[in-house]
Structure 1
Amino acid sequence: MNILVTGGAGFIGSALCRHLVADPENRVINLDKLTYAGNPASLRQIENLPNYRFIQGDICNEEAVACILRAEKIDRIMHLAAETHVDRSIDGPGSFIETNILGTFRLLQAALKFWRSLPEAAAERFRFHHVSTDEVFGDLPFDAGAFDEDTPYAPSSPYSASKAGSDHLVRAWHHTFGLPVVITNCSNNYGPFHFPEKLVPLIILNALEEKPLPVYGTGANVRDWLYVDDHARALELVAAKGATGESYNIGGSSERTNLGVVETICDILDRKSPRRNLKSYRDLIAFVDDRPGHDRRYAMDTAKIERELGWRPRESFETGLARTIDWYLDNGWWWQPIRERSYRGERLGKSVAAR
């Protein structure tokens, strides 16, 4: 398969690229604009492999995308390019509309024209896989069940609204034009190479630097956590075997409060890298004003992907988090340059919530 991954220098995208190129039968073309969260260093281990190619570019440039599709004879598009951070969408929603909605529209247009030009066998192989989020379903009460694929959309933030809009576009291009698509909606990811303004890496790195560990409100908001490599496996499986026109929820079945996540990180670090004063990292937890429109809970019903495709996460939250902390302890070469940039450092100190 010749696979175009958009946003492949981001957190989930880079994990997907590393996973896909491990199969020498795959040829991966990574298209990324390299905005603040796109980091080529996340791809260092695969950048010289013969079945991997990086192209810096913008999905909003329809003609450039069309040229890539033709030149690389793409069989499958896996679309992850997106603005993703809720706090940033509140501060500046314009870029979220531009990338997540208009960018997806331009990509769909290029994909449709390319698909229509293909001979029958190649057209049968072609697939457009749109990667989305659980946040499109909105706020879930603490005492309710979980989101399934038929849950109505009710986005709460500019970020989730922009992703909901892109999901609707993908479905419309399938139903109106016949473009073969699949959609996945995933829960919160964590793992290596996670940009340090997100909750898990922010807490790990702030703790190691003896800085406050900020938590929104009382920390009671609940998220379902998924180890990023488990997500990459699920994405490959859905792209290859998912039913055309269908959506699949992907989650870790690991609901935790934000405060519980922070406390678990503190407890693991207490064992793996004790503070110089031998006090617990929990002493650094600092509660801050809640974020506007902060959804209470997200939870994913993954019965469909388990039943139809046989996927289940391999990592529990505890094993995945321990692996993640070990990675950050051992790979300062990746995260230290990000933390040292003055603008990023100011921004990271303010970011406290997982999506």
Structure 2
Amino acid sequence: MGATIKSEEVFLAKKNVLDHDFPYEHPLVTVGDEIEPRVEVYELHNPMVNLGLRKAFYCNGEFIDVLTSPAGRRELKVSIEKKGVRKLKGKVLDLVTPGANLYSHWLLDLIPKIHAVKSAGHNLDDFDHIYVNYYNSSFKYESFRTLGIPEEKVIDFSSFPKTFEADGVVTVTPCRSSLYTPDWVENYIRSIFLHDNKNNGERKKLYISRSKGNSRRILNEAALLENLIPLNFEVVYFEDLSLSETAHLMSSSSVIVAPHGAGLANLVFCEEKVSICEIFSQHISSEYYKFSKKKGFNYHPLQGLSSSGSLVDCKKMDYKNHRPEIHSDNIILTREMIDDIMRFVNESI
């Protein structure tokens, strides 16, 4: 049987306009015309593929340009020329997604692809293999269990050839663009992990700590907590909670204070009228600012000192040459900065 390909559009492209009022000039924080991408599901029969982060798909003697990157094409060509492409029997669902080793991209970029696949008429039970990048964390195991994906079907590209030939492959185009989260992505994630949304009127005040991590920690966190805990703030460590526990905790929150990080991806579980204070020293992305603007949340960013004790001029940061240091830099808060956070908190209570 020859190689064939068919595609189906499951979500249309859409533009949303957000007002930009971020008070700091930061090279990664821009808001304006936000595009929800057109999402397509492709089904290929008897293809040769490269399912690394730089993908390539080869059918009917030619590469499928819309799905193929230049680097992925080169890598697959080398494998084909060396005749090193192995055959994987059965039907493969390609969920490989850049950044999905991290919680926020797994939750908001990879998992929504499953909804797209189902919307195109595919049943997860029909796949013999589910191919992902870095299947190595408790939140990934929990999410696949919740979705009914058996462990034995999962292939991790860190331990399996990225280039191979298969009886069939289904792949999905990106579900988000420029870290803007469409309503359909939000609604799908909530439908999976937030089954009972009743909080009996109790609204929690949360401080999301990164003290168990190695980056973007608030080094004098104790000084901030001295002010938050008397106001009945709960200190949470999401790495210690299940996804379901996290979802229900966030859905019952009213005020959230947190350093910038993947924990704020859980804003998708929040209800209306939530207040968020997002703290950073150097690195911050637009993701949670955009989501808060879209949802109408009360959003307040605050820049703290860098780990060296200086206030960094964000406009002059050199991500190209110093990204690792910028991305992981820890945070120090002055008394004045803590007072600013507390003013926001007290106005939000």
The TM-score with structure 1 as length reference comes to 0.29
Would you tell me which structure has more strand in proportion to its own residues?
2
